A and B are shown apart, each in its own frame.
Chain A
Amino acid sequence: MAAEKAEMDALKKECDGLRAQIEAARKAVNDGSMSAAASGVASVGRVQLKLRKTLKGHLAKIYAMHWSADSRQMVSASQDGKLLIWDCFTGNKLVAVPLKSAWVMSVAFAPSGNLVASGGLDNICTVYNIKAASPKTLRELDAHTGYLSCCRFLSDTEILTASGDTTCCLWDLETGKQKVIFTNHIGDCMSLALSPDMNTFISGACDSLAKLWDLREGACKQTFSGHTSDINAISFFQSGNAIITGSDDCQCKMYDLRSDQEVICYQDASLNAGVTSLALSSSGRLIFAGYDDFNCHIWDSLKGEKVGVLSGHDNRVSCTGVPDDGMGVCTGSWDSFLKLWN
């Protein structure tokens, strides 16, 4: 018993030593701060976006939404047990997909527009074909031992899932089997995002770490720490060289992948609510972050200042999304409404 404990302590010490060395290596390349670099950039001023549409139709809390690649359709998931596919231009509901389990937590649109996927407390990621006469269940991906917190399609044949069982998984939709299981987190995985070049993806978890994974090797390449609570939302900066995270510790952070460290923290003393979701405008200059305080706050990603707010929801903002063409931003809330702003 004592020998085992001694071995563990030695290993822990070695691990801590290596982590300290990594920190030192990061400090060594840190020769400039974002605020210094961005000091010459013009301020964006006050960003005031108007509410253009309110999409009503769900009967309970909205937990997730995802834009289609055509920037016009969007799918939303609510705990009333339905997925709704909207045409955001006209505001019409195009398809309603009834769910077997009402406890949905995540939804995704395939880039082709043919499939949507959803999952939640049932631990299963269900993929539906929405181009059929009536939505048909294509696959039920059932292997996670924890709730499904996030899913994203790579194509019509592959999908990535993040789960409360601390793993992320790449599935083959043709066989319905797991291809790669990504294990390294020690807390529930809450969100994931695919890189623009589709070679890597990032995940945020309840262990307050964000990790970058290589899809080909199936391994964790980089780990980013700094948050002090669950990371609920994560996204790539469009250039693919940085990631933005949002956490229950009321802060958002940007981490640079090439210098392997945090570059800026988005926090405000008056903001005392956790971040639930985030999305970036197409140039990456604006970050739309949904908070527990019923608002979506807008940050200037380079200067680190709060530049605006989207108010109008009667309950927590649970999901945020900017379409590929960057026309505006959509916020979904526990008050059962989706709002489109620009």
Chain B
Amino acid sequence: MTINTLAKGGCHREQMACFRKMEKVIVAMQDPDMGMKMRNQRLLITVIPHAMTGHDIIAWLTHKYRISEEESLHLGNMLVKYGYIYPLKEPRCLVLRPDESPYRFQTPYFWTSTRWPASELDYAIYLAKKNIRKQGELMEYEKERYSLLHKRINHTWDFVVMQAREQLRASKQRRKADRIVLECQEQAYWLINRPPPGVNNVLDTGLERPNNFSCRVTLNSDYYKREIEACRKALGRNRVKSSICLEGFLKYSEQYLNHDPIMQGCLPSNPWISDDTAHWTMNAEIVPVPTRLRVERWSFSFMELLNDAMGRREFMTYLEKEFSAENLYFWQACEDIRHGESSKIVEKVEDIYKNFLAPGAARWVNIDSKTMDKTLEGIKRPHRFVMDDAQMHIYFLMKKRDNDPKCSKITLA
């Protein structure tokens, strides 16, 4: 027994798969031969059979599944939290106590998986019964919910009261012991399906999302016109062959395999495991000597080199030797505009023009005339991405240099 909901798109999505697993355990516990030993519970003058102590439950779980006591306690607690076993002494405290406290199995009629979801009507009948049976027996929160339900399903209220009376009458004809058991079972069921305020609702399945799309966006002719435009653009897109792309993923995973601590571990040790922060110290942003793995990563792609503060420093040293350091300074200044504060954009763009683009500038960068014209035009109305074309041009210029064997010799030295 479990709960299968028909999700959107028609696939069956299992809610609360844990029920299936817990029910297996419960059935095993009630096995006449290998199951739990039952005792009688004494309630003043009434004797209620088929009770068991918390201690017995834990002992049985430990023995049957060959697990530690700690895990048995955890598992037993889950059985209580989800309503398969309920406490007899303090019904509102849904916790498994590893002592002589008495517990009982919930009847399959009241398994949460059997009656899912719990219906408002049933809850109303239950509260009505409690109210009729003993005036003032409802708790504060139950009284509130009762009056809320009275408003919400007012049209069937006669039915609710009639059902409540009928069920009370039927139960009076039962033996006292059976009546008490039934009341306990019902109470346990509702403590889980309608928990008191402040108690964690274990059956919560989250927000209900609107099923109907068009309540948010109207699928009218404007929408389709926009879609057609978008599709036309998308159709003209350049698509790369799958085989080439897949090769790319394989190569990437392979390259970075040694750099993946979960797959290959890391040296000197993974701080999470060894509690030693040496790895982090050795790989801090600026260190006297970068680790071998770190330098290896710089050779994977130019972006890796540029994204690492020390990599940039090494590259800058190389560029200075080649008298082309202005390129990297320019690139860094452009990055600063792209990711920095909007209020400083105008100021930064002016600085870049003065230092890198103006004729005779101290750090003049060599950009082709077409890009230069476009950039100078854009500077008249500066925005975050105004330097993008120039930055891209310089990036590729630097990348060519990075591919120069002279450069890699210097960085990997």
Interfacial residues, chain A to chain B (CB-CB below 8 A): 4, 7-8, 11-12, 14-15, 18-19, 21-22, 25-26, 28-34, 37-38, 41, 44, 49, 52-53, 60-61, 71-72, 88-89, 146-147, 154-157, 164-166, 172, 174-175, 184-188, 197-198, 206-208, 216, 220-223, 227-230, 237-239, 241-242, 248-250, 256, 258-261, 263, 272-274, 281-286, 292-294, 301-302, 314-316, 322, 325-329, 334, 336, 340, 342
Contact indicator A273/B14 (Cβ below 8 Å): yes
Contact indicator B241/A284 (Cβ below 8 Å): no
0/1 string, B227-263, CB within 8 A of A gives 1 = 1101110110101111111111110111111011111
- A240–B130 alpha-carbon span in the complex (Å): 61
Q: Which residues of B contact A155 (CB under 8 A)?
A: 339-340
Decide if B65 is an interface residue (CB 8 Å cutoff). Answer: no
Q: Which residues of A contact B273 (CB under 8 A)?
A: 52, 342
**Contact check: which of B18, B235, B272 meets A18 at CB < 8 Å?**
B235
Contact indicator A327/B240 (Cβ below 8 Å): no
Q: How near does chain A come to B241, taking the closest CB pair, in angstroms? A: 5
Interfacial residues, chain B to chain A (CB-CB below 8 A): 4, 7-15, 17-18, 78, 81, 200, 202, 204, 206-207, 209-210, 213-214, 216-217, 219-221, 224-225, 227-228, 230-232, 234-235, 237, 239-250, 252-257, 259-263, 266, 270-273, 275, 277, 280, 283, 303, 338-343, 385, 388
Q: Tell me the nearest residue of chain A to B230, going by C-beta.
A: A220
**Contact check: which of B213, B247, B263, B272 meets A283 at CB < 8 Å?**
B263
**Contact check: which of A15, A165, A273 meets B17 at CB < 8 Å?**
A273
Q: Which residues of B contact A156 (CB under 8 A)?
A: 341
Contact indicator A15/B8 (Cβ below 8 Å): no
- A19–B224 alpha-carbon span in the complex (Å): 12
User: In the complex where A19-B231, A21-B235, A228-B8 touch, is A283 in contact with B340 (Cβ < 8 A)?
Assistant: no
- B interface majority secondary structure: helix
Q: How near does chain B come to A330, taking the closest CB pair, in angstroms? A: 10
Q: Which residues of A contact B239 (CB under 8 A)?
A: 25-26, 28-29, 258-260
User: In the complex where A281-B260, A293-B17, A334-B204 touch, is A222 in contact with B248 (Cβ < 8 A)?
Assistant: no
**Contact check: which of A206, A228, A286, A314 meets B263 at CB < 8 Å?**
A286
Q: How near does chain B come to A301, taking the closest CB pair, in angstroms? A: 7
Q: A187-B213, A256-B245, A327-B272 are in contact. List 4 more A-B contacts (CB 8 A).
A: A174-B342, A229-B13, A272-B13, A302-B249
Contact indicator A248/B13 (Cβ below 8 Å): yes
Contact indicator A22/B252 (Cβ below 8 Å): no
Those 10 A-B pairs whose CB atoms lie nearest each other, nearest first:
A228-B9, A283-B260, A18-B231, A283-B256, A32-B243, A11-B224, A272-B14, A258-B240, A37-B246, A293-B17
Q: How near does chain B come to A321, taking the closest CB pair, in angstroms? A: 13
Q: Tell me the nearest residue of chain A to B260, going by C-beta.
A: A283
Q: How near does chain A come to B202, taking the closest CB pair, in angstroms? A: 7
Q: How near does chain A come to B284, taking the closest CB pair, in angstroms? A: 10
- A192–B322 alpha-carbon span in the complex (Å): 43
Q: How near does chain A come to B305, taking the closest CB pair, in angstroms? A: 14
Q: Which residues of B contact A166 (CB under 8 A)?
A: 216-217
Contact indicator B260/A18 (Cβ below 8 Å): no
**Contact check: which of B7, B210, B257, B260 meets A248 at CB < 8 Å?**
B7
Q: Which residues of A contact B230 (CB under 8 A)?
A: 184, 220, 223
User: In the complex where A89-B272, A248-B7 touch, is A29 in contact with B388 (Cβ < 8 A)?
Assistant: no
Contact indicator B231/A239 (Cβ below 8 Å): no
User: In the complex where A165-B216, A216-B385 touch, is A327 in contact with B259 (Cβ < 8 A)?
Assistant: no
- A165–B17 alpha-carbon span in the complex (Å): 31
- A216–B79 alpha-carbon span in the complex (Å): 53
- A256–B237 alpha-carbon span in the complex (Å): 14
Q: Tell me the nearest residue of chain B to A72, going by C-beta.
A: B280
Q: How near does chain A come to B255, taking the closest CB pair, in angstroms? A: 8
Most buried by A among B213, B217, B262, B271: B262
Contact indicator A327/B266 (Cβ below 8 Å): yes
Q: Tell me the nearest residue of chain B to A7, going by C-beta.
A: B221
- A248–B13 alpha-carbon span in the complex (Å): 8
Q: Which residues of B contact A326 (CB under 8 A)?
A: 259-262
Contact indicator A328/B241 (Cβ below 8 Å): no
Contact indicator B240/A259 (Cβ below 8 Å): yes
- A175–B341 alpha-carbon span in the complex (Å): 11
User: In the complex where A29-B241, A166-B217, A314-B78 touch, is A284 in contact with B340 (Cβ < 8 A)?
Assistant: no
Q: How near does chain A come to B116, taking the closest CB pair, in angstroms? A: 15
Q: Which residues of A contact B259 (CB under 8 A)?
A: 282-283, 326
Q: How near does chain B come to A105, taking the closest CB pair, in angstroms? A: 8
Q: Which residues of B contact A30 (CB under 8 A)?
A: 242
Q: Which residues of B contact A208 (CB under 8 A)?
A: 8-9
User: In the complex where A272-B13, A272-B17 touch, is A4 in contact with B262 (Cβ < 8 A)?
Assistant: no
6 A-B pairs whose Cβ atoms sit less than 8 Å apart in the complex: A12-B224, A31-B241, A229-B13, A248-B7, A263-B246, A327-B271
Contact indicator B13/A238 (Cβ below 8 Å): no
- A21–B232 alpha-carbon span in the complex (Å): 10
- A336–B199 alpha-carbon span in the complex (Å): 13
Q: How near does chain B come to A28, taking the closest CB pair, in angstroms? A: 8
**Contact check: which of A15, A19, A146, A249 meets B9 at CB < 8 Å?**
A249
Contact indicator B247/A282 (Cβ below 8 Å): no
Q: Tell me the nearest residue of chain B to A49, going by C-beta.
A: B262
Q: How near does chain B come to A184, taking the closest CB pair, in angstroms? A: 7
Contact indicator A25/B235 (Cβ below 8 Å): yes
**Contact check: which of A248, A250, A284 meets B252 at CB < 8 Å?**
A284
Q: How near does chain B come to A19, taking the closest CB pair, in angstroms? A: 6
Q: Tell me the nearest residue of chain B to A223, going by C-beta.
A: B234
**Contact check: which of B18, B204, B249, B261 meets A328 at CB < 8 Å?**
B261
Q: Which residues of B contact A302 (CB under 8 A)?
A: 249-250, 253
Q: Which residues of A contact B221 (CB under 8 A)?
A: 4, 7-8, 11
- A281–B265 alpha-carbon span in the complex (Å): 12
Contact indicator B17/A41 (Cβ below 8 Å): no
User: In the complex where A188-B209, A263-B242 touch, is A327 in contact with B270 (Cβ < 8 A)?
Assistant: yes
Q: How near does chain B come to A29, taking the closest CB pair, in angstroms? A: 5
User: In the complex where A166-B217, A237-B249, A334-B204 touch, is A328 in contact with B270 (Cβ < 8 A)?
Assistant: yes
Contact indicator B341/A174 (Cβ below 8 Å): yes
**Contact check: which of B207, B254, B262 meets A286 at CB < 8 Å?**
B262
Q: How near does chain A come to B293, taking the closest CB pair, in angstroms? A: 12
- A175–B342 alpha-carbon span in the complex (Å): 9
Contact indicator A44/B242 (Cβ below 8 Å): no
User: In the complex where A25-B235, A32-B243, A258-B239 touch, is A328 in contact with B262 (Cβ < 8 A)?
Assistant: yes
Q: Which residues of B contact A60 (CB under 8 A)?
A: 200
Q: How near does chain B come to A303, taking the closest CB pair, in angstroms? A: 11
User: In the complex where A18-B231, A154-B339 touch, is A285 in contact with B272 (Cβ < 8 A)?
Assistant: no
Q: Tell me the nearest residue of chain A to B13, going by C-beta.
A: A274
Q: How near does chain A come to B245, taking the closest CB pair, in angstroms? A: 5
